[in-house]
């Protein structure tokens, strides 16, 4: 019976150490998601840092989308302990429905090129829609 108890205690220790969201968040399991916006606390800051096409810019977003973007950005940069960034693995983009690279194909006005670092132009696009990449919404 003591072997079974020791094995159970071992399983609990493994679960606590490997299934700890704070620990996974600290290790940077999904920190690469916020890398493009890590120092940009609001949608206003993003508009001045990235070049957006006329037909897919933050000015084209609905009020709810602007609220959601600002909330997501402030949550990502705050690190207040109430939200965690974790991943569930990586998945190959196997069809055109999951390939978002085509969304970047637009004509971009270059208003903020003088503010960019050493001539680098950072392209971005926004859309007023929900994306279901994997799983359920609720």
The number of beta carbons lying within 10 Å of the beta carbon of residue 32 is 11
Query: Could you write out the DSSP letters of every residue in 84-112?
Result: -----------STTT--GGGG-S----SS
Query: What CA–CA distance (Å, rounded) separates 50 from 116?
Result: 9
- Going from N- to C-terminal start, the domains of the chain cover 30-119
pTM: 0.61
DSSP 125: -
pLDDT tens sequence for the chain (138 residues): 688 999 999 988 888 877 776 666 666 667 777 888 888 888 888 888 888 888 888 888 888 888 888 888 888 777 777 777 777 666 676 777 667 777 778 888 776 555 555 667 788 888 877 665 565 555
Collapsing DSSP states into helix, strand and coil, what is residue 123? strand
């Amino acid at each position: 019976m003591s072997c079974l108890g020791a094995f159970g205690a071992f399983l609990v220790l493994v679960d606590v150490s490997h299934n700890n969201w704070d620990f996974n968040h600290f290790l940077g399991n999904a920190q690469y998601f916020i890398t493009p916006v890590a120092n940009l606390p609001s949608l206003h800051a993003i508009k001045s840092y990235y070049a957006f096409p006329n037909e897919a810019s933050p000015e084209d977003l609905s009020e709810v989308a602007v609220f959601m973007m600002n909330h997501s950005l402030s949550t990502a940069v705050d690190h207040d302990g109430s939200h965690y960034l974790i991943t569930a693995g990586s998945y190959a983009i196997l069809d055109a429905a999951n390939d978002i690279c085509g969304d970047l194909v637009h004509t971009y006005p270059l208003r903020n090129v003088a503010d960019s670092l050493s001539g680098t132009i950072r392209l971005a696009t926004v859309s007023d829609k929900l994306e279901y990449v994997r799983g359920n919404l609720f």
